[in-house]
């Protein structure tokens, strides 16, 4: 009873009911399989309806639990421990939503919500194998559900604080709203090919599972790829790390399943078209899902807390994750060991220069990359017995994956010209001659632009060959309106583009650290940078630096990198300014700002609520204090720093323009006071230099009206020019677009199986 008293019962009950309905659905599907094996179709149909109702109730309960947590976050109900840990009064609404998946419990819940929703269309798509597939799929959902029952997200605090801890400053970005949910859709989708494979092995019905699982494997590949794209773009555009991929364990946790998923979809394609690799595909379907579970253990058990900037701290679920992995590993090993020897598959008799052989070599290359990344990510575990466990650095991944990327580009460059029966060497070279010629021209152009490293020139040639060859094939298929067959080649065009973009933007970027004196032009390469002014915070817009960037061709623009201190954690945060041009990105990341002497205070106004004073050409009206953040007295009593905003209306007498400003008066129990200035419309600064909440009076200090905020400041920045990085993003778009084409085509084919 004491445990119940510390739970928000509406939320906890939905999870407990989900367990009950999930067990009921599982029992119903078990009975369905028993009656199907006995040939009692009427009884099987009755139990199937019961199981479907149970699953619908399970999905409803889990979705309701997610809705309740979202509602508690939106209402800022700090009685709930999870809301208190990841939410705060100052967060805008979309960050309140993002707080849902900011912590361990919420991320497991959104994963489960996505999983149960995917199960609804899966019931129909499974066809005659519904009972087995859904039974296995429900077991995968139970792994998440039992974690949430044990570590309930609806735990209540004994006393409700006035405010929450807020969202991690690194997560306060618009990408946080969409990137994690997409990632968890991809994780949830990885269980579907696994469910098809396990059910097929259990029922010893291995003829149709690949065709049914194929579109789901493609869809999972597509969604997880989108999530990886979003994560890389987020890191590059917002976090100021200067790159899109750092080989961090949490990044690798999504990459390994995606690479294995790439191997799986190619294997399923070969099984459907050539009747081959039926055993390998069953192994791969298991490995994709098991890699998701293993990656979850690495990143959420706390074992990598000292090695990853993303890793979650220990939640107390390590043992449960280990048991979950062990259960599915043992189940997979048992079924594979007992079923694989009996599976008939077509022997691989393809000649070396054939489409089938090159596709197999390509998938082996991708699989080796997945294994290398998995081993590197597991280094802290593999060295745990040592006194000082270690991790491998980015150089390990770059060096080991570069030869594999070369091999992949070579194989992709010739696949479009090969037939299943094989293509003779002279005929192959004759068909590939246009692509080879264009690749040689691209390599010569790269050499002319300064690429001298022979290894890099070889990489350019092979990547360009892969791009041109597959583009040639894509255009031919588009002309013949073979849209479904076009998807794979389009994706391979994207791979070639990605390879070129990765090499150019990483090996040939130019970076320089500069100190900019305010108002003084500073040249770096073909750029001239002039730091004009520091812009104080305005509403939700953080403190920015205004820098004029002039190029040698005469064009110029204003860059606004951000450098600010988080109000809660006191962390210094930097957001870069990225200007994307046709052939390169100009990436300006702030490092340090040293303000010059502040402008003299020209006017000090003491105003009551609603009082207006005219200063030079401005009408200044103090409207009121903004107490939406809660009672300052209670916040101060709880030891928190109080940020008390004042609402000030500024009207320009000459133009009639009206602006609403909100200067902040920040103080704590020790008497420390901060009053950061805000920028006045037209120039100058205003600060809330004193308050008297009892009488409603404030003191406003204004200076340099109509002028700049300060002079003589210094700004240190990192300026990087990244050539051809657009090829990376466009290439990944093409990979995903090609996957979308293929997914739609394969889903249409899957619908015809039962017809």
pLDDT in tens, 386-398: 667 677 888 899 8
Question: In this structure, what token pair is assigned to residue 305?
Answer: 């807390």
CA distance readout (Å), 728 to 247, 495, 622: 17, 9, 51
**Mean pLDDT, all residues of the chain:** 85
pLDDT tens for 514-543 read 899 888 899 998 899 999 888 777 666 778
**Residue 127 in this model has a pLDDT that exceeds 90:** no
Please report the pLDDT score of residue 1 as a whole number. Answer: 45
Mean pLDDT check: name the lowest of 463-467, 503-507, 707-711: 707-711
* Among the listed residues 608, 604, 619, the one whose alpha carbon sits nearest the alpha carbon of residue 703: 604
Burial of 439 (0-12, 13-18, 19+ CB in 10 A): buried
pLDDT tens for 236-275 read 887 656 678 888 888 888 899 999 999 999 899 888 877 7
Query: With contact defined as beta carbons under 8 Å apart, do 568 and 699 qualify?
Result: no
pLDDT tens for 687-706 read 888 888 677 789 999 888 87
Q: From the CA atom positions of the chain, what is the Rg in Å?
A: 30
Residue 89 — very low, low, confident or very high, per pLDDT cuts 50/70/90? confident
Please report the pLDDT score of residue 64 as a whole number. Answer: 97
Residue 58 — very low, low, confident or very high, per pLDDT cuts 50/70/90? very high
Total count of residues recorded for the chain: 755
| % of residues, the chain, pLDDT over 70 | 88
**Residue 308 in this model has a pLDDT that exceeds 60:** no
Please report the pLDDT score of residue 461 as a whole number. Answer: 95
Task: Between 160 and 313, name the one with better pLDDT.
Answer: 160
pLDDT winner (highest mean) among 51-55, 452-456, 576-580, 658-662: 51-55
Please report the pLDDT score of residue 746 as a whole number. Answer: 66
Question: In this structure, what token pair is assigned to residue 191?
Answer: 């269980």
Half-sphere CA count of 22, side-chain side, radius 13 A: 24
pLDDT tens for 557-572 read 999 998 877 666 667 7
């Amino acid at each position: 009873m004491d445990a119940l008293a510390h739970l928000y019962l509406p939320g906890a009950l939905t999870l407990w009911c989900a367990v009950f309905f999930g067990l009921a659905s599982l029992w119903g599907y078990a009975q369905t399989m028993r009656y199907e094996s006995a040939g009692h179709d009427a009884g099987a149909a009755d139990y199937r309806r019961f199981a479907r109702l149970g699953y619908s109730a399970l999905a409803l309960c889990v979705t309701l639990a997610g809705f309740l947590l979202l509602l508690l976050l939106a209402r800022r109900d700090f009685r709930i421990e999870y809301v208190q840990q990841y939410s705060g009064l100052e967060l805008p609404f979309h960050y309140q939503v993002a707080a849902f998946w900011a912590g361990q419990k919420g991320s497991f819940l959104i994963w489960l919500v996505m999983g149960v929703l995917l199960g609804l269309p899966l019931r129909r798509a499974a066809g005659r194998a519904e009972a087995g597939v859904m039974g296995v799929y429900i077991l995968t959902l139970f792994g998440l559900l039992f974690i949430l029952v044990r570590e309930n997200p609806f735990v209540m605090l004994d006393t409700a604080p006035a405010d929450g801890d807020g969202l991690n400053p690194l997560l306060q970005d618009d990408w946080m709203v969409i990137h994690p949910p997409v990632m968890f859709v991809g994780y949830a989708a990885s269980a579907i090919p696994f469910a098809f494979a396990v059910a097929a092995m259990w029922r010893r019905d291995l003829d149709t599972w690949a065709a049914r699982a194929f579109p789901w494997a493609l869809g999972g590949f597509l969604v997880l790829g989108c999530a990886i794209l979003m994560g890389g773009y987020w890191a590059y555009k917002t976090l100021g790390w200067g790159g899109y991929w750092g080989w961090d364990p949490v990044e690798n946790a999504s990459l390994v399943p995606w690479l294995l998923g790439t191997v799986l979809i190619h294997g399923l394609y070969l099984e459907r078209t050539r009747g081959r690799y039926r055993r390998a595909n069953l192994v791969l379907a298991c490995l994709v899902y098991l890699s998701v579970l293993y990656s979850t253990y690495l990143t959420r058990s706390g074992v990598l807390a000292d090695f990853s900037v993303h890793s979650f701290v220990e939640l107390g679920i390590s043992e449960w994750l280990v048991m979950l992995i062990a259960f599915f590993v043992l189940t997979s090993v048992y079924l594979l060991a007992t079923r694989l020897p009996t599976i008939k598959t077509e022997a691989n008799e393809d000649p070396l220069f054939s489409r089938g052989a090159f596709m197999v070599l390509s998938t082996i290359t991708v699989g080796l990359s997945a294994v290398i990344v998995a081993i590197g990510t597991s280094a802290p575990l593999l060295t745990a017995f040592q006194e000082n466990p270690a991790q491998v650095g980015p150089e390990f991944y770059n060096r080991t994956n570069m030869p594999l990327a070369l091999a992949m580009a070579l194989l992709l460059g010739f696949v479009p010209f090969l037939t299943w029966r094989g293509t003779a060497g002279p005929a192959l070279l004759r068909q590939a001659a246009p692509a080879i010629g264009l690749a040689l021209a691209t390599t010569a152009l790269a050499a002319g632009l300064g690429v001298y490293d022979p290894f890099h020139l070889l990489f350019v040639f092979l990547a360009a060959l892969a791009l041109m060859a597959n583009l040639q094939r894509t255009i031919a298929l588009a002309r013949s309106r073979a849209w479904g067959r076009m998807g794979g080649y389009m994706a391979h065009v994207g791979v070639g583009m990605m390879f070129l973009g990765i090499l150019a933007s990483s090996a040939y970027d130019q970076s320089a650290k500069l100190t900019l004196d305010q108002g003084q032009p500073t040249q770096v390469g073909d750029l001239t940078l002039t730091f004009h002014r520091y812009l104080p915070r305005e509403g939700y817009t953080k403190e920015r630096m205004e820098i004029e960037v002039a190029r040698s061709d005469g064009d110029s623009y204003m860059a606004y990198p951000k450098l600010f201190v988080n109000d809660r954690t006191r962390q210094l945060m930097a957001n870069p300014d990225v200007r994307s041009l046709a052939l390169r990105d100009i990436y300006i990341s702030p490092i340090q700002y040293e303000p010059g002497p502040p402008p003299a205070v020209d006017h000090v106004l003491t105003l009551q609520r609603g009082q207006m004073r005219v200063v030079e050409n401005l009408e200044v009206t103090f409207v009121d204090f903004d107490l939406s953040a809660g009672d300052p007295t209670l916040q101060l009593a709880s030891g928190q720093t109080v940020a008390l905003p004042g609402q000030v209306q500024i009207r320009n007498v000459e133009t009639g323009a009206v602006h609403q400003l909100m200067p902040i008066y920040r103080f704590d129990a020790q008497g420390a006071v901060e009053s950061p200035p805000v920028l006045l419309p037209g120039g100058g600064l205003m600060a809330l230099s004193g308050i008297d909440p009892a009488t409603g009076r404030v003191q406003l200090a204004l200076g340099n009206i109509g002028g700049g905020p300060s002079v003589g400041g210094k700004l240190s920045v990192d300026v990087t020019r990244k050539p051809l990085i657009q090829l990376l993003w466009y290439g990944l778009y093409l990979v995903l677009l090609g996957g979308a084409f293929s997914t739609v085509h394969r889903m249409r084919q899957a619908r015809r199986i039962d017809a």
